[in-house]
Amino acid sequence: MRRIVINDYIIADPKICHGRPVFKGTRIMVWQVLEMLEVDENIAAITKAFPDLVPKAAKRF
């Protein structure tokens, strides 16, 4: 597997979190944010839980 750029904010790289999609420049896995959105967490709560996450990237969901 090689590094895959999914979009401007998300990558999948076998050297980072076993290749699971993460937000670029972090080890925050996309599924973690999606789970929070599934239980109706708002953007403020998500960025508080993951301060390294750029708010602009979180708004793309």
- pLDDT at position 49 is 94
- pLDDT at position 59 is 58
- pLDDT at position 41 is 94
- pLDDT at position 58 is 54
Low-confidence residues of the chain: pLDDT under 50: none
Count of domains observed in the chain = 1
The three-state (H, E, C) secondary structure of 1-61, written as one string: CCCEECCCCEEECCCCHHHCCEECCCCCEHHHHHHHHHCCCCHHHHHHHCCCCCHHHHCCC
- pLDDT at position 61 is 55
Domain of 38 in residue numbering reads as 4-58
- pLDDT at position 26 is 93
Query: What CATH code is carried by the domain that includes residue 34?
Result: 1.10.10.10
